[in-house]
């Protein structure tokens, strides 16, 4: 059985939300599925170190720490990774949600619009 999905509207652009020294580490955008507003969250990741933010080498680690960005990004990536594993087990498959953008490789997630 299939269920019809209301029309989806995706953003054409994502906004930089990271710290001033590395704004592109975190991107967001607003989308909708029917009348429900959702938020697209994209975190730039280091592909060599699974579920790890891709911190720029030219930005001191303290800058990420001062903004509170480091703990939030690392925690969110860990939680999303765990959710992806559990859903993969449920559906019998593991899928990557890595999207290549001009500013790097990003894990993309959809969350309720109320998440910021």
Encode pLDDT of 64-77 as tens digits.
888 888 888 888 88
50: pLDDT strictly greater than 90 = no
Q: Is residue 1, in this structure, part of any structural domain at all?
A: no
Q: Is residue 93, in this structure, part of any structural domain at all?
A: yes
Residue 116 binned pLDDT confidence (cut-offs 50, 70, 90): low
Contact between 104 and 18 (Cβ < 8 Å):
no
β-partners of residue 101 are 104
Q: Whole-model pTM?
A: 0.86
Q: Is residue 30, in this structure, part of any structural domain at all?
A: yes
Q: Is 20 helix (H, G, I), strand (E, B) or coil?
A: coil
- Domain residues for the domain of 73 are 8-111
Q: Is residue 2, in this structure, part of any structural domain at all?
A: no
Q: Is residue 3, in this structure, part of any structural domain at all?
A: no
Residue 113 CA neighbour count, 13 Å, CB half: 9
């Amino acid at each position: 059985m299939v269920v019809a999905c209301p029309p989806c509207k995706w953003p054409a652009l994502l906004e930089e939300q990271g710290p001033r020294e590395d704004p592109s580490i975190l991107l967001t955008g607003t989308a909708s599925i029917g009348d429900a507003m959702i938020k697209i969250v994209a975190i730039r990741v280091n592909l060599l170190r699974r579920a790890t933010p891709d911190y720029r080498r030219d930005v001191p680690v303290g800058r990420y720490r001062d903004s509170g960005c480091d703990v939030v990004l690392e925690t969110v990536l860990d939680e999303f990774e765990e959710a992806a594993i559990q859903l993969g087990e449920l559906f019998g498959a593991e899928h990557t949600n890595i999207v290549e953008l001009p500013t790097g490789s990003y894990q993309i997630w959809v969350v309720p619009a109320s998440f910021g």
